[in-house]
Amino acid sequence: MKRAAARLLPLLLGLTVLPLPGRVYPQFGLETFLGGQYRLFSLATWAGLRIPLGNTSSLIVKYRQQSIAFDYEDQDGLMHRDKPSLSMLTGVYYYQKGMIDAYVALFEMFGTNHYDAIGADIGFACKLFRGVAAETGLYLLNEKSTLWYPDEALRRISLFVWHAGMRLALSPKLEFNPQVHFGNNSEAVGTFAYSASLTFSPQDPIYITITYTRYSENAETRFSGDYFSGGINFYF
């Protein structure tokens, strides 16, 4: 937490001297997920600011704090439960015009178990016709830690995940979002997942999302399994 505060404070001070073109809008939320054979559980809170850059784009700055718990098996075959935590700073450029939505996010993560990571998340969506949009994106991460392997040596892993899906408006307040995800990392572990989300917005700016994900790995099966996640987010 001290490290997070040390990095967040200069960022917030910098925002106060930017020549902003309009109002600054808060965003915040609560997200959780659980599942898998090692009983992975996560609870995260986040908060940020959306800064309009004009009629078609915004800059978003976010801070996220996440608590994690999961079981793991040590080299002697004994089971333990680890409870690490992560902090995440993200800057997002968001663009929306006509039929197009796009974003580019750069982030840094740090936490317990010597965790340190940088990454990018890039997404693009195109409205095909009323109530239907196609989307795709790429997630890149380079991490150094013992987070997922607490009883092993410090390691650095790079990975990518490509995803594609649809956004289907079932009603003015309800959206269905099926996706497929393909990934690989620097240790030659390939991953595949499919997911289905429902997002309900009773009124602006409240968005409630529930998601089912089936995740699998071709080499290790550490976190393969079924996952359920949910969140309530406020996007002003």
Q: What is the pLDDT of residues 81-113, one digit of tens each?
A: 999 999 999 999 999 999 999 999 999 999 988
Residues 6 or more apart in contact with residue 154 via CB below 8 angstroms: 114, 144, 145, 146
Pair of tokens at residue 175: 């959206």
Look up residue 173 and give its amino acid: K
Distance CA 66, CA 31 (A): 9
Poorest-confidence range of 22-26, 73-77, 129-133, 213-217?
A: 73-77
CATH of domain 2-235: 2.40.128.130
| pLDDT tens per residue, range 26-47 | 999 999 999 998 899 999 999 9
Band (53; pLDDT cuts 50, 70, 90): very high
Q: Which of 134, 126, 211, 205 is nearest to 168 (CA)?
A: 134
DSSP 107: E
Q: Is the per-residue pLDDT at 177 higher than 80?
A: yes
Paired tokens of 104:
């580019």
Residues shown for the chain: 236
Contact indicator for 32, 44 with CB cutoff of 8 Å: yes
For the chain, which residues make up each domain, given as ranges? 2-235
Please check the confidence at residue 13 and state whether its pLDDT lies above 50. no
Phi, psi for residue 2 in degrees, rounded to 5: -65, -40
Residue 59 CA, chain-centre distance (Å), reads 17
CB neighbour list of residue 231: distance below 8 Å, 6 or more residues apart: 29, 30, 31, 32, 208, 209
Residues 17 and 12: their CA atoms lie apart, in Å, by 9
